[in-house]
Structure 1
């Protein structure tokens, strides 16, 4: 956009014109003290704003997370952003109002952030509202001069992506025990026998970092464990069952407090329910030390207990859409529609809502919601790198 006068600039220009006209009419020089400074300020402001080019910019991407979480995001401009990339940018700093466009599945800043671009990074907060691959950016800049007389709008086409995982619900022990050998339950709580040291990979738990070895090297080293007991692998197959294609008002997980809602198609709502139910069950089994095979319309993964396995399951649950999966050999089948999800094992079926209530009652005598929050925090540490 071309350089334009701000409201303050228009007022200053009007004052200068009136002062100049009065000076000419009176034939005196008394008003030159107003006319000349105003003219200089307008000229300097125009030159300053018109010579600004779009700066290099870079998002310092926040960690992936679950629906409902809020993260801090940092924007770097100029030479600071160039050092994080492949080039060099010595562009001068300037004043601007910084705005960021975000994906519809995210809540970002609602008002521009006043900053000295190129001098300091800009920080803002973003809340994850819907699962999936979400985009931060592009960046909108409204450049102004130091007097605020001129402004110029520009867009920096810089984006970054984050993955938002579906909400996780507790699954009662009784249901998990029915899916695998009893002697495999609670293996993860007792930990496992130490096996070896290896290089850190994204998704490993912070608690597994071997700090003594890490301090001696230039890379993070983690401990890897071997299983103490045999585990049965559980196969989970999930699909949606939706008839019709009209928009469904009010459906979605926001009505249950996790941030999604609005008018959405039945297939999209069912896919969210499928992702939530499948992810919850798979993570609960991984917490028990049980490997899982997960098959969804969006793909399939074979995951083992640990941070990497959790991340694989969560990423699949984040990106899956509606559809059918044919797997007659699955240990449990998840069927989801707009009203929720149901687990089918053999000739029996139970809803996720019923399992959620049972799990809440199961936890109540041992501390209730406090333990639930601790479990969620531990799970986030497992899938978030340090």
Structure 2
């Protein structure tokens, strides 16, 4: 517990009043000193009784860098009091997390902007309780933290790069396809290469071909590694390429130095969570269908008989739009040209 600037000013007034009372009589003491002393005593008692509140923190959704959201702190306490609140923010997140509120009555909210991929912990909150006159303050630490994930950036690949990557999957499943069995309605996860366009043209829904004894296609295996200082580059390239497959109905198995994650068609959440936390290290499987190797100089991608840089695969627009401010568009059917 300590005096504020205003509290020190009141003490100065009291000292001056006492000095004046010596020369001009005790009436000055009664008129100024006594009310000031009472105010200071009341302030000390009020602040001493201020309880540490329970904090409930509402954080923004996990998202990509440069996304801004609102963090809200609600306080549960038996007695309300004015205070200055400061929520602890780690490097990688930007925001003005300090402000004044009435703890116990009003929530405290501030804007936070994600700057860098990773998992971040917000809190605990420091609460500087004060009295209604602002004479005395006391610092309290409200326990409790919450975390957010900042996903890697997801960029849009060029049309040629997407078709080259999709051909890896087509090469896997083509030998397993048997004779034609019939037609049925499209369901999420079906490959658009199986769309029966003549039947689709007669109906409002997509119609796909079904084959006798068709087995589930295996996933595309992607392996990624990086120098310790280039893990963000690795994560960006891996996220972009993985989402090119899964948002087009193709399952993926991703291996990084931090582990292995499998994603079914249309499910990118596990991939993004894994890549938000992934560290650099050696490529775990050099024989994968797609191998990503990142360094400070460049990020290289090898698939099939081709090897190039990640930047050469990215469309001129660079950034994708959609899911998490960066989802890929759906897979184009064979024979349809896009730009």
> When the two structures are superposed, what TM-score results if normalisation uses the length of structure 1?
0.69
Q: Which residue of 2 aligns with 1:77?
A: 75
8 Å contact 1:20–1:32 — kept in the other structure?
no
- Please report how far the alpha carbon of residue 325 of structure 1 lies from its aligned counterpart in structure 2 after TM superposition: 3.1
1:299-318 superposed matches below 5 A: 299-306=259-266, 309-318=267-276
Is residue 2:118 matched to residue 1:120? no
Distance in 2 (alpha carbons) for counterparts of 1:67 and 1:311: 16
Distance in 1 (alpha carbons) for counterparts of 2:232 and 2:304: 24
RMSD between superposed Cα atoms in Å = 2.8
1:205-241 CA-partner distances (Å, limit 9, x unpaired):
xxxxxxxxxxxxxxxxxxxx9987786632111112x
8 Å contact 2:129–2:139 — kept in the other structure?
yes
Q: Higher helix fraction: Structure 1 or Structure 2?
A: 1
Q: Which residue of 2 aligns with 1:270?
A: 230
1:279-328 CA-partner distances (Å, limit 9, x unpaired):
1110111222111111111111111123xx21111011111111123424
Is residue 2:223 matched to residue 1:237? yes
Distance in 2 (alpha carbons) for counterparts of 1:303 and 1:277: 17
Distance in 2 (alpha carbons) for counterparts of 1:375 and 1:148: 48
Q: Which residue of 2 aligns with 1:258?
A: none
Is residue 2:187 matched to residue 1:193? yes
1:75-113 CA-partner distances (Å, limit 9, x unpaired):
1111xxxxxxxxxxx520111111111121211326x20
- Please report how far the alpha carbon of residue 158 of structure 1 lies from its aligned counterpart in structure 2 after TM superposition: 1.6
Is residue 2:52 matched to residue 1:61? no
1:92/1:12 Cα in 2 relative to 1: closer, same or farther (>3 Å)?
same
- Please report how far the alpha carbon of residue 344 of structure 1 lies from its aligned counterpart in structure 2 after TM superposition: 0.5
- Please report how far the alpha carbon of residue 68 of structure 1 lies from its aligned counterpart in structure 2 after TM superposition: 1.4
Greater mean alpha carbon deviation, residues 347-356 or residues 315-324: 347-356
Q: Which residue of 2 aligns with 1:130?
A: 116
1:133/1:228 Cα in 2 relative to 1: closer, same or farther (>3 Å)?
farther
Gaps of 5+ in 2: 171-184, 190-205, 211-215, 329-339
The one of 20, 23, 29 equivalent to 1:22 is 20
Greater mean alpha carbon deviation, residues 101-110 or residues 292-301: 101-110
8 Å contact 2:169–2:220 — kept in the other structure?
no
8 Å contact 1:165–1:315 — kept in the other structure?
yes
Q: Which residue of 2 aligns with 1:294?
A: 254
8 Å contact 1:291–1:303 — kept in the other structure?
yes
SS at match of 2:88: strand
8 Å contact 1:231–1:289 — kept in the other structure?
no
Q: Which residue of 2 aligns with 1:175?
A: 161
Q: Based on CA coordinates, which of the two structures has the bigger radius of gyration?
A: 2
Is residue 2:78 matched to residue 1:91? yes
Q: Which residue of 2 aligns with 1:219?
A: none
8 Å contact 2:153–2:326 — kept in the other structure?
no
8 Å contact 1:101–1:108 — kept in the other structure?
no
Is residue 2:21 matched to residue 1:35? no
> When the two structures are superposed, what TM-score results if normalisation uses the length of structure 2?
0.78
1:71/1:317 Cα in 2 relative to 1: closer, same or farther (>3 Å)?
same
Gaps of 5+ in 1: 79-89, 185-190, 196-224, 243-266, 361-367, 381-386
